[in-house]
């Protein structure tokens, strides 16, 4: 009985993972992000890098960004729906950020990543699943 339940769990788990993510499948993007600048009131402002992907309704969606660690500088990731509403955001102090969300309906989402390091450019790797 246990083996049957375990087998069914594995099969349904694989189906669920295979059907989650962007409509066109997972993607990886590499971008060279310039160093951030100080804004007029002293805030750090990075140049946004925008990527678009369409996601199925109700299926787990994930986006993550990783810097090159040379040196470790802060990065951010934000996700906006087609109506420009912020649906997910992560602003860690390090150079790895990730978000997970469940789209309410099938639509295009914009993933925005930024390098907030003020010393030098950063090679960013963005994964969308």
How many domains is the chain partitioned into structurally?
A: 1
CATH number of the structural domain spanning residue 18: 2.60.120.380
> Phi and psi at residue 14, in whole multiples of 5°?
-65, -40
pTM: 0.79
Task: Tell me what the mean pLDDT of segment 88-105 comes to.
Answer: 96
**CA–CA distance, 27 with 124 (Å, rounded to integer):** 14
Closest CA to 33 of 42, 46, 45, 52: 46
In the predicted model, what is the mean pLDDT of residues 102-119? 93
User: What pLDDT digit, counting tens, does each position of 38-71 carry?
Assistant: 888 888 888 999 999 999 999 999 999 999 999 8
Question: Hey, is 18 helix, strand or coil?
Answer: helix
Check residue 43 and give its pLDDT: 84
For residue 96, the enclosing domain spans 2-128
SS3 68: coil
Residue 72 three-state SS? coil
113 within 8 A of 33, measured Cβ to Cβ: yes
């Amino acid at each position: 009985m246990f083996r049957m339940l375990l087998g069914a769990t594995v099969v349904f788990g694989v189906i669920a993972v295979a059907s989650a993510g962007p409509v066109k499948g997972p993607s990886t993007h590499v971008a060279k992000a310039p160093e951030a600048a100080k804004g007029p009131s002293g805030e750090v402002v990075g140049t946004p890098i925008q990527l678009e992907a369409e996601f199925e309704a109700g299926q787990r969606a994930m986006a993550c960004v990783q810097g090159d660690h040379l040196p470790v500088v802060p990065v951010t990731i934000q996700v906006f729906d087609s109506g420009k509403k912020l649906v997910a955001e992560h602003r860690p102090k390090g150079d790895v950020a990730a978000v997970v969300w469940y789209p309410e309906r099938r639509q295009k989402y914009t993933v925005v990543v930024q390098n907030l390091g003020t010393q030098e450019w950063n090679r960013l790797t963005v994964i969308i699943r």
